[in-house]
Amino acid sequence: MNKYLDIKPEVKEAIEAGKPVVALESTIISHGMPYPQNVETALQVEQIIRENGAVPATIAIIGGRLKAGLTPEEIEYFGKKGPEITKASRRDLAMLCAKGEDGACTVTTTMMIAHMAGIKVFATGGIGGVHRGAEVTMDISADLEELAQTPVMVICAGCKSILDIGLTLEYLETHGVPVIGFGTEDMPAFYTQKSGFKVDYKVDSHEELAKFFNTHLELGLKGGILVGNPIPDEYSMDPDVINPAIDEAIEECNRLGIRGKATTPFLLAKVKDITGGDSLDSNIRLVFNNAKVAALTAAELCK
């Protein structure tokens, strides 16, 4: 076991007993929404996973320790500290551990720590990807590289719709990452159910999804798989409302010269303001939906 890794006793017992465990990221707590809504949402996501037969493992870095599973007190601490916590990608891990600091885990670092702990399934909101204008800025999320090398199933509501979804899918294809649509042939676009871009394969059941990933692992294939799980219809946003909001947010982001890891939190917050909070409500609901699918799939995988 990695000497910097702490596995919560409940999570460790479940892993050793072959019971289903679902990893959750912590950036959504620290950078995704304001306190106390962030803490309430994180605890509710954990409860949804429990209700669907799995053990939740929220993943973070606290005091230089890699944490696979947080206590309610640690989630409260993360929620209160919020954006003061470093948003940690692969390049930040060694420095945070060496300095004994806190880190909010992105998709990348959640995958890494989940894999260290032996957790195979991870539920999040949306992955990072190729940003619009990346042909000039080269702004491409480390999430895509991690999907290409770490064997974890990532269940999300698609790429964040602030991204260039078409280029993101091309990048994943180049790196050999299978993109699965759960009940859909169209890659979900986070706030909406369809992006207009096709996934590699459509899967209609948790059993089939678990079988696909288990075969992927048994073949010894490098990297993980990405599952696009559409936001429930009743919480999907009107494209005529959300798309202009995204365009406006990106225009302001470019005007202010915001770059790097600050880009996504800025854009999501700006879209939330433009839509009067509706986008945040949709974001929360799609995370709940992904958590349920992840728990049921993890249970099938254990069989």
* Marked catalytic residue, from 8, 12, 25, 292: 25
Q: Report whether pLDDT(259) > 70.
A: yes
CATH fold for the domain made of 5-302: Indigoidine synthase fold (3.40.1790)
| pLDDT confidence of residue 264 | 72
Q: For residue 265, is the peptide bond before it cis, meaning its omega torsion is within 30 degrees of 0?
A: no
Is 99 an active-site residue?
no
Q: Report whether pLDDT(260) > 90.
A: no
Residue 96, H or E segment = helix 93-99
Is 146 an active-site residue?
no
End-to-end CA distance of the chain: 25
- pLDDT class of 1 with cuts at 50, 70, 90: low
Encode pLDDT of 120-131 as tens digits.
Answer: 999 999 898 888
* Marked catalytic residue, from 67, 160, 270, 292: 160
The proportion of the chain whose per-residue pLDDT surpasses 70, expressed as a percent, equals 99
Amino acid occupying residue 105: C
Round the average pLDDT of the chain to a whole number and report it: 92
Q: Is the dihedral of CA 9, 10, 14, 20 positive or negative?
A: negative
| pLDDT confidence of residue 43 | 98
Using DSSP bridges, classify how beta strands 21-24 and 121-123 pair: parallel, antiparallel or unpaired.
parallel
Q: Report whether pLDDT(197) > 90.
A: yes
Give me the phi and psi of 245, to 5 degrees please.
-65, -40
The proportion of the chain whose per-residue pLDDT surpasses 90, expressed as a percent, equals 73
Closest CA to 237 of 206, 201, 205, 283: 283
Query: Which residues on adjacent β-strands are paired with residue 66?
Result: 5, 61
Buried residues in 32-56 as b, exposed as e (16+ CB within 10 A): bbeeeebbebbbebbebbeebebbb
Mean pLDDT of 62-68: 98
Helix (H, G, I), strand (E, B) or coil at 223: coil
- pLDDT class of 221 with cuts at 50, 70, 90: very high
Q: Report whether pLDDT(84) > 70.
A: yes
| pLDDT confidence of residue 250 | 79
What token pair was written down for 33?
């929404």
Q: Report whether pLDDT(132) > 90.
A: no
Half-sphere CA count of 234, side-chain side, radius 13 A: 2
DSSP 163: B
**Domain segments of the chain: what residues?**
5-302
Considering only residues 268 and 204, tell me which one the structure prediction assigns the higher pLDDT: 204
Mean pLDDT of 254-269: 76
| pLDDT confidence of residue 275 | 75
DSSP string, 24-79: E-SHHHHTSS-TTHHHHHHHHHHHHHHHTT-EEEEEEEETTEEEES--HHHHHHHH
pTM of the model: 0.92
